[in-house]
């Protein structure tokens, strides 16, 4: 069931700096819920929070989604979205789009020129969201994650995709 749209101004995006045990366990559960066994574990999330950034999107102090990003080593002006999800009960209410725009704004504030990510060819909702914000297809890599786990590589260059100086 889809709830009513969430006003983007009701979405609070925060960065998790030093997640404690309980939050790590909660985020592991949410990653499992979103991605199954390929979801990040507490150890991965702790590394992401320290070496990259882990953002939470909350509504009325409830975590509705999360996103982990890294600054890429070979192209330091681009940030790599390791994971991005909206929890099932919050999907289809505009949170994914508002959250992604907020992450893009934060990346721009960090000096980033754009975002990269991978997405499964069968993940139509995510592909539709990404293409509509400014991501374009860069490559298709068969077996990216091993046998049968193909991925599209998408890149959003902010100067070409509608995220100009005034965000």
Interface residue list for ligand COA (CB under 6 A)? 34, 84-86, 91-97, 117, 119, 123-126, 128-129, 132
- Cβ distance to ligand COA smaller for residue 20 or 37: 37
CB 51, min distance to ligand COA, A: 20
H/E stretch holding 11 reads strand 11-16
- Least distance (Å) between residue 18 CB and ligand COA: 25
Toward ligand COA, which CB reaches closer, 19 or 96?
96
The C-alpha atoms of residue 97 and residue 162 are separated, in whole angstroms, by 14
Taking the complex as a whole, how short is the minimal distance between the CB of residue 125 and ligand COA, in angstroms? Answer: 3
* Chain position carrying tokens 């289809």: 92
Q: Looking at 28-160, which runs of residues are DSSP E strands?
A: 53-59, 62-71, 78-86, 114-119, 136-141, 151-157
Between 46 and 101, whose beta carbon lies closer to ligand COA?
A: 101
- Shortest spacing between CB 122 and ligand COA, in angstroms: 10
112: which strand partners?
Answer: none
Q: Return the residue nearest ligand COA (CB atom).
A: 96
* Consecutive H or E run containing 13: strand 11-16
Please identify, using beta-carbon distances, which residue of 20 and 36 lies nearer to ligand COA.
36
Give the integer Cα–Cα distance in Å for 79 and 70: 6
């Amino acid at each position: 069931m889809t709830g009513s749209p969430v006003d983007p101004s009701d979405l609070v995006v925060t960065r998790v700096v030093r997640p404690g045990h309980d939050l790590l366990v909660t985020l592991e559960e949410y990653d499992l819920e979103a991605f199954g066994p390929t979801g990040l574990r507490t150890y991965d999330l702790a590394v992401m929070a320290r070496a990259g950034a882990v953002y939470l999107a909350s509504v009325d102090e409830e975590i509705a989604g999360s996103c982990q990003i890294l600054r890429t080593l070979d192209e330091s002006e681009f940030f790599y979205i390791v994971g991005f999800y909206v929890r099932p009960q919050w999907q289809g209410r505009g949170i994914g789009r508002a959250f992604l725009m907020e992450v893009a704004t934060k990346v721009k504030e960090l000096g980033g020129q754009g975002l990269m990510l991978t997405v499964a060819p069968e993940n139509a909702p995510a592909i539709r969201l990404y293409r509509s914000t400014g991501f374009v297809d860069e490559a298709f890599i068969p077996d990216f994650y091993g046998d049968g786990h193909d991925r599209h590589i998408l890149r959003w260059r902010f100067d070409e995709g509608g995220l100009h100086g005034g965000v």
